[in-house]
Amino acid sequence: MKIYTRTGDDGNTGLQGGLRISKSHVRITAYGAVDEANAVLGIVLSGERCPDDVRAVLGRIQDDLFVLGADLSNPNLGDLGIRVTPDMAESLEETIDKFESELPPLTSFVLPGGGTAAASHLHHARAVVRRAESLAVELSESEEINLHCSIYLNRLSDLLFVLARVADRRAGRPETPWVPPPRGDTPGPGASGAPREGSANGKL
């Protein structure tokens, strides 16, 4: 079978079930961002210094992201074939707890990158996953979707942040804290640099 089909030359693409929609549709950009995140994880895995336990986790996540992409590409929620399930996000939470146990508590926002290449790419993947989550939420505002997709993406961005910190810590690289500009006597998170509850790593 040839890789090219010419069927999308008019700017439309096919979903599972045969429906054709514009390639600019938020459903397409949502699972396109999922695909992009998977590609960035591939860069992390190509590095020789990716720890074995992190490598195993990322391999599992890559499989999960194919499930997630398949879910988002199927607007027929009555089709229960390949769907994101609650246990997938729960597994991420368990993994976060495991890796976070070897990290010191956050006292400020940290800048992405500046340490190991693995950590920089993990931060990149985290940012792409956050975009994918936003797009999935945007899609859910106009169409019914499997809400476990956006929940999974939310937990995944947390996990990738934790793994980025772990990669730098294990390599002996210090984190670079964000130093906020002076704000006079204005109180708030900018005064101390400490993240507000629910906004660690700038995450909403």
Range of lowest pLDDT (13-27, 54-68, 100-114, 120-134)? 13-27
* The predicted structure's pLDDT at residue 77: 84
Q: Which domains does the chain have, with CATH numbers?
A: 12-199 (1.20.1200.10)
Least confident of 69-73, 113-117, 176-180, 196-200: 196-200
Question: How many helices (H) does the chain have, and how many strands (E)?
Answer: 6, 2
On whether the CB atoms of residues 152 and 88 are closer than 8 A, the answer is yes
Please give the residue that has the higher pLDDT: either 195 or 193: 195
Nearest to 71, CA basis, from 35, 95, 100, 122: 35
Task: Examine the pLDDT at 190 and tell me if it is beyond 50.
Answer: no
Q: What is the pLDDT of residue 7?
A: 66
pLDDT digits (tens, 9 = 90+) for 42-52: 999 998 788 88
pLDDT tens across 4-28, in order?
777 676 786 666 777 776 666 898 8
Question: Is the predicted pLDDT of residue 88 greater than 80, yes or no?
Answer: yes
> What is the pTM for the complete model shown?
0.85
Q: For residues 69 and 101, what is the distance between their CA atoms, to the nearest angstrom?
A: 31
